[in-house]
Amino acid sequence: MSSVAPTPTRSRDGTAASLLNDEERARIRAKSAQFAPPTAAMPDGRRDLVGLSREELTDIMVEIGEKPFRTKQLWHWIYHQGATDFSRMSSIARPLQEKLAERFVVGRPGVVTEQTSQDSTRKFLFRFRDGQEAETVYIPDRQEDRGAVCISSQVGCTLSCTFCHTGTQALVRNLGAAEIVGQFMAARDSYGEWPSPKGDTPRLLSTIVLMGMGEPLYNYDNVAKAMRIIMDGEGIGLSRRRITLSTSGVVPMMDQCGAELGINLAVSLHAVRDDLRDEIVPLNRKYPIKEIIAACRRYPAASNARRITFEYIMLRGINDSEADARELVRLISGIPAKVNLIPFNPWPGSSYRPSTREQLEKFANIVMDAGFASPIRMPRGRDILAACGQLRTESQRLRRVARPDDGTDAAQ
């Protein structure tokens, strides 16, 4: 690890307000657009209906001479029933089924591999239409029949967090809404969880965590569109309370996410001092700790019932001292929060070591004594490289994109 503190790209005492403007968000979006996913058309010209908003679906129905109410029917079959074959859509007359099949598909990403860990964690490697790949992980609850689906938002990542295997893979491109929703739908195919459970009916794939490959707030528009589809009550119908987006701290988009989606927020904090965080989460040079914490304090969906999660990877001798724990408590004081302590999961080529059990417990006790839940996350799926920070695919960028030294600005 470098011992030279990098030059901040923003003044540390700059007010959060200076960042919170439309110009900053427009800049992030414009950069994000450079990594846009390919169009939803198949080689034979048919279009994928998955990933379209209701409005877009209605426009398409009108374009082919159908009534707008077809949207409601199709939505039900695609997202409630999980149908991928128009001939199964029994409330739609045969001639229209055939017409739809000539023009459209109800797609899924291709499953390249599906590995199940000794602890029942299941990792999927999905391939998309242009051959790019991303990983998705289902993490079952140990006690109950439910679990979290960890979804990827990008192929690769720009952010180069030094403890993360995904960060060693350059950003290839953003995933489209269809590819994000498609990961969840394909995981449910694997467990046969269709039709979508309604109301209080228990769900096996009960929560979504946007914590897979990529920084979701650097692909906000596609992520937001996908989450709106997943939350739609006439389809998959997953509550916003059951969706958590994890960010490394893209401050201007945190505000937007809270205001527009109201889903739960997790922040990959991992360090309590800017000099260290600059090094292990290089995005910190752009959005330092003070600004991230301020954005958490104003996050609209946070409450005692819906706490902000601070993710903290425990690296031996780096960020795991008792002084670090006390500073963490001071930083998050007054925020409805919990702290997930994540033992580091080694991957090939990484130089970090996991904290000792004793140190983990000392750290956890200080945080807990201050009134914050601080569970130590047992690594899941380690035998199949499915644990936190271990996801990586062989997808490569086809075109070369300049990447500055600080690793924070290649796409954004």
Q: Which stretch binds ligand SF4 (CB under 6 A): 32-40, 160-168, 343-351, 354-362?
A: 160-168
Tell me the β-bridge partners of 208. Answer: 149, 243
Binding-site member from 167, 258, 346, 379 for ligand SF4 (CB under 6 A): 167
Work out whether 395 is an interface residue with ligand SF4 (CB under 6 A).
Answer: no
Work out whether 28 is an interface residue with ligand SF4 (CB under 6 A).
Answer: no
Q: Which stretch binds ligand SF4 (CB under 6 A): 38-46, 210-218, 374-382, 394-402?
A: 210-218
Work out whether 315 is an interface residue with ligand SF4 (CB under 6 A).
Answer: no
Work out whether 171 is an interface residue with ligand SF4 (CB under 6 A).
Answer: no
State the nearest-atom distance from the C-beta of 77 to ligand SF4, in Å.
Answer: 34
- Determine the Cα–Cα distance for residues 148 and 208; give it in Å rounded to an integer: 5
In which residue are the tokens 């007054």 written?
Answer: 334
State the nearest-atom distance from the C-beta of 167 to ligand SF4, in Å.
Answer: 3
296 is catalytic: no
To the question of whether residue 157 is assigned a binding role by annotation, the answer is: yes
Residue of 245, 252, 323, 248 lying closest to 280 (CA atoms): 248
Q: Given its phi and psi angles, is residue 233 left (phi above 0), alpha (psi -120 to 50 degrees) or beta?
A: alpha
Q: Which of 150, 257, 296, 388 is catalytic?
A: 388
Question: How many of the other CB atoms lie within 10 Å of CB of 365?
Answer: 13
Write out the DSSP string of 57-91.
HHHHHHHTT--TTHHHHHHIIIIIS----GGG-TT
Count residues near ligand SF4 (CB under 6 A).
13
Quick one: how far is CA 93 from the chain centroid? 38
Binding-site member from 89, 161, 328, 385 for ligand SF4 (CB under 6 A): 161
Work out whether 164 is an interface residue with ligand SF4 (CB under 6 A).
Answer: yes
Work out whether 216 is an interface residue with ligand SF4 (CB under 6 A).
Answer: no
Closer to ligand SF4 by Cβ: residue 71 or 174: 174
- Determine the Cα–Cα distance for residues 391 and 135; give it in Å rounded to an integer: 7
Work out whether 250 is an interface residue with ligand SF4 (CB under 6 A).
Answer: no
Work out whether 345 is an interface residue with ligand SF4 (CB under 6 A).
Answer: no
Residue pair 154/160 in contact by the 8 Å Cβ criterion: no
Residue 73, token pair as written in the block? 């029917």
According to CB under 6 A, which residues from 140 to 159 bind ligand SF4?
157, 159
Closer to ligand SF4 by Cβ: residue 135 or 255: 135
Max Cα–Cα distance, the chain, nearest Å: 70
Closer to ligand SF4 by Cβ: residue 100 or 410: 410
Torsional sign, CA 300, 297, 147, 183? positive
Query: Residue with the closest Cβ to ligand SF4?
Result: 167
To the question of whether residue 284 is assigned a binding role by annotation, the answer is: no
Residue pair 223/153 in contact by the 8 Å Cβ criterion: yes
Quick one: how far is CA 406 from the chain centroid? 23
Work out whether 213 is an interface residue with ligand SF4 (CB under 6 A).
Answer: yes
- Residues 6 or more apart in contact with residue 218 via CB below 8 angstroms: 28, 31, 32, 154, 158, 174, 250, 253, 411, 412
Binding-site member from 133, 135, 215, 279 for ligand SF4 (CB under 6 A): 215
Residue 237, token pair as written in the block? 């119908």
State the nearest-atom distance from the C-beta of 286 to ligand SF4, in Å.
Answer: 13
135 is catalytic: yes
List residues with catalytic annotation.
135, 388
Per CB under 6 A, residues contacting ligand SF4 are 157, 159-161, 164, 166-167, 213-215, 248, 268, 389
- Residues comprising the binding site for [4Fe-4S] cluster? 157, 161, 164
- Residue numbering of the annotated binding site: 157, 161, 164, 214-215, 246, 268-270, 345
